Amino acid sequence: MTIKLLLADDHAMVRRGLQVFLQTQKDLKLVGEAANGEETLEQVALTAPDVVLMDLNMPVLDGIETTKRLREAHPEVKVIVLTSFSDHDHVLPAIRAGAKGYLLKDIEPEELVRAIRRVHQGQVELHPDAASTLMNGLAMPEQPVAAPAVPARASADVFGELTPRELDVLDQIARGKSNKEISEILHITEKTVKTHVSHLLDKLGCADRTQAAILAIKHGRGEAAS
């Protein structure tokens, strides 16, 4: 299946760099570009992309407002924010606006492609720094976050189904760590980490690692070791 992409960024060099790399991927098709929010809305209406890679800091209409309008007018289109900002004032509004991914521009190209595929499949993708910001937001009742829903069947005792190593991995996910970072912390291979993640998601009934992180935080897991 081919995934149709639209690039929204006010820097032509950024768009060109993304275009050159993404066109090497057989399952990805670039259908349009936009330099501001209004152009993005127009291009989405014309090209019907599956995924929009959205910069936040754009003229005329910024990425957050554009994402909000896309959710209302084209709910089938998935937005992945691709930005340089991972602070509270950017991450939380973007998630509230409807972004299904939040990535930083220092992401490795191969990981960006994997994230695009996962978001297209219905998963949520967050850079570890953005995930940490989201977790901190969940801990602040005065600033509620429209976070991805946690499965209704999940409860504290469901952790009893996890192995000790799966619990270790879950704790690291709750701290916003990537698979590579978890492999280094736990001294296991990245492939083994991916296997543990797959198993714990299945046992917890979570669709993705973001749901698992939120579930863990709500039940007091993931706190940094003293």
CA triplet 209, 220, 123: central angle to 5 degrees?
A: 15
Average pLDDT over residues 22-32: 93
Q: Are 197 and 216 in contact (CB under 8 A)?
A: no
Structure letter (DSSP) for residue 8: E
* Tens-digit pLDDT profile for residues 202-216: 888 887 777 788 778
Distance between CA atoms of residues 35 and 158, nearest Å: 47
- Burial of 14 (C-beta count, 10 Å sphere; 0-12/13-18/19+): middle
Distance between CA atoms of residues 128 and 86, nearest Å: 9
| pLDDT beyond 90 at 8 | yes
Domains located in the chain, CATH noted: 3-138 (3.40.50.2300), 156-218 (1.10.10.10)
DSSP letters of 31-53? EEEESSHHHHHHHHHHH--SEEE
Q: How far is CA 98 from CA 67, 78, 80, 158, in A?
A: 6, 8, 9, 29
* Tens-digit pLDDT profile for residues 133-148: 776 765 554 444 445 5
- Provide the 10 A C-beta neighbour count for residue 12: 10
Q: Work out the pLDDT band at 102, boundaries 50, 70, 90.
A: very high
Please tell me the predicted confidence (pLDDT) of residue 101: 92
Q: Count the alpha carbons within 13 Å of 199 in the hemisphere toward its beta carbon.
A: 16
Instruction: Pick 131 or 135 by higher pLDDT.
Output: 131
